[in-house]
Structure 1
Amino acid sequence: MILRRLAWCWLLPVAAVLWEVATRQAQAVYFPPPSAVVARLHEMWFSGPPWRGFLTDEAFADLLPSLGRLAAGWAVAAAVGVVAGLAIGRLPWLSALVEPLLHFGRSVPPPTLLGVFLVFFKIGTPLQLAAIVYGVIWPVLINSTDGARHVDRQYIETGQVYRLGRRDRLLRVILPAAAPKIFAGLRLSVSLALIMMVISELVASTEGIGHRMLEAQSEFDIPAMWAGIVLLGLLGILLNAAFIGVERALLGWHRASRTSSR
C-alpha cells in the first residue's frame, strides 16, 4: 500500500514534466506549458503581500465571492435536502405525493434552467445561489430519502421498546442509521456545487472565477484561462479532502462497526 502511494506521488511530477516538454515542442497557442500557467496563476491571485495571505486584489474580487456563493448554496441545499429527504423517506403518503415530481425535477439538467432563473431572480448573487441550490439538492435529497426509508426495522423496534419519542427516535435512531447514505450524497454534491458555481458565473456575473475565465477567453489570454481551470481543479481536491476528513470524524463509529462485524 505504501509503495502504491509513493508511485502515485511520483506520477504527478513526471506527468507535469512530460506536459512541459510536449507543449514547448508543439508550440500550440491554446496549450501553454505548465510553467506559464503556474506563473499566470501566481501573478493573478497569489502574488499579494504576506499580511494578506499573499492574495491579490483579483483574488479578493474573484475567489472570495465565488467561495462564498459556493458555501452558501451548498449549505442551503444540504439543509433542505436532508430535512426533506428524511420526511419523504419516513412518511409514505408524502413519498407517494411528491416522488414523481422529484424524479422529474432531477432529470432536468440545471444549466437549462438558467433562463428561467433569470426571470425570477436578479442577475448576480441571487441567480447564482438559485442555480447552485437547484443543481446540488438532488443527490442530497435522493440519498437522504433512500437512507431514511431503509432503516433497519430492528432499530425502530428497539427505539419503541425504550419508549423514545418521535424527536428522540429521529435524532438517535433514524438519522444515525441514514447518515452513511446522507454523507454519500453530500460528498457528491460538493463537486456539483463547484460545477454550478462556475456555470452560473459564466452566464450571469460580473465577478468570480467563472467570469474571470470568460474575460480571459474574450481577451485571448490563454494562460489565464488555463490558470482558472487549474485553480478549479485544486479547489475540487481541497474541498473533497476536507469533506472526507469531516466524514471520517463524524462517521468513525460506522467504520468501526463495519470493521468489527467482519
Structure 2
Amino acid sequence: MVLWQIAAVAGDSLYFPPPSEIAVRMYELWFSGPSPWFVTPALVADIGSSLGRMFAGWGIAVVLGVALGIAIGRSRVVSQLVDPIVHFLRSTPGPALIPVFLILLGTDNLMRISLIAFGSIWPVLLNSIDGVRAIDSTQLETGRAFGLPWRARIFRIVIPAAMPKIFAGIQVSLAVALVLMVISELTVSTDGIGHQLLTAQQTFALTDMWAGIALLAILGYLLNLGFTVIERRVLRWYRGARQHD
C-alpha cells in the first residue's frame, strides 16, 4: 500500500489514484452515514442487493451440491451414469452462459441467482462426492450391524465423515459465487456493486471504480473470515480427533 501510494503520487496518473484518495472516496460514498453504524443508504442498497443475490444462488448451490454429491457418491450406478455429464457441465464457464440465461430467464434477479447457483455448485458437488467415496467402509458396516436404517446412516455416519471435504468445497464455492455476483451485475443490472463499478467506468469516475474494487476485496475477505470461523466451530470435533490420532 505504501509503494502504491508513493508511485501513484509520483506518477500522477489519472488511471491509478493513490490509496489515500480511494479511502476518502469510500468514506464519502459508503461510510459517512449517521451513527452508530456510519453506513450510507448507498452502501445498504449496493451491498444488500448484491449479497441477497449471492447468498440465494450460493445457498441453492450448497443444498443441491451436497444432496446430489451424497447420492452420486453412495451409488456406483448413479455415478457411472452422471459422471460424464457432471464433468462436461463443470467445464463450461459460467460467464459464457450469460446469453443463454438472458434468453431463458430475462434480466431480473432470477437470471443472476441462477447463474451464481450454476457456477458455484461444482466445488460443492465434487468435494461431496469425494468425501462420501472416501468414507471407511468399516464405519458403514458397523452402522448396518447395529441395525441403523439408511436415513440414520446418512445423517449419523456419511455426512459427518464427509463434512471436512464438503466444507472445503463450500468455501471454494463462496469465492466463486462472489465473482459470479459481480459478473452478473455487470450485465444489464440496475443496482449492486457490479452496477456501481460499471457506472463508474462508463462515466470515467475512476476513483469511484477503484473504491468499488476495494469494497469487493474487503467484502470477500470478511466473507472468507466469517466462513472460517463457522467451519472451525462446526468441525471442532474433527480437529480434536486428528490431534488425538
Matched, 1:62 2:49: no
Residues 74-93 of structure 1 correspond to what in structure 2 (within 5 A)?
74-93=58-77
Picking from 27, 41, 47, the partner of 2:26 is 41
Q: Secondary structure at the match of 1:203?
A: coil
Quote the residue 1:18 is aligned against.
3
Correspondence 1:254 to 2:238: yes
Does residue 168 (structure 1) correspond to residue 139 (structure 2)? The answer is no
Mean CA deviation greater in 177-186 or 59-68: 59-68
Report whether the alignment pairs 1:50 with 2:38: no
Which aligned segments of 4 or more residues in structure 1 are displaced greater than 6 angstroms? none
Q: Which runs of 5+ in 1 are unaligned?
A: 1-15
Residue 144 in structure 1 maps to residue 139 in structure 2: no
Match of 2:15 among 30, 33, 49: 30
Superposition pairs of residues 228-243 of structure 1, within 5 angstroms: 228-243=212-227
**Whole-angstrom distance in 2 between the partners of 1:178 and 1:25:** 53
Post-superposition shift, 1:189? 0.6
- Tell me by how many angstroms 1:63 deviates: 1.1
The TM-score, its normalising length taken from structure 2, stands at 0.98
TM-score (norm 1): 0.91
Distance 1:151 1:238 in 2: 32
Fraction of identical pairs, as percent: 48
**Offset of 1:163 from its aligned partner?**
1.1
1:186 maps onto 2:170 in alignment = yes
What residue ranges of structure 2 are gaps of 5+ in the alignment?
Answer: none
- Secondary structure at 2:190 match in 1: coil
Give the drift of 1:44: 1.0
1:134 to 118, 122, 125: 118
Displacement of 1:186 in angstroms is 0.3
Please give the root-mean-square deviation of Cα atoms over the aligned residues, in Å. 0.9
State how many pairs are aligned: 245
Deviates more, 1:226-235 or 1:17-26: 17-26
C-alpha separation in 2, matches of 1:124 and 1:36:
34
Q: Secondary structure in 1 aligned to 2:186?
A: helix
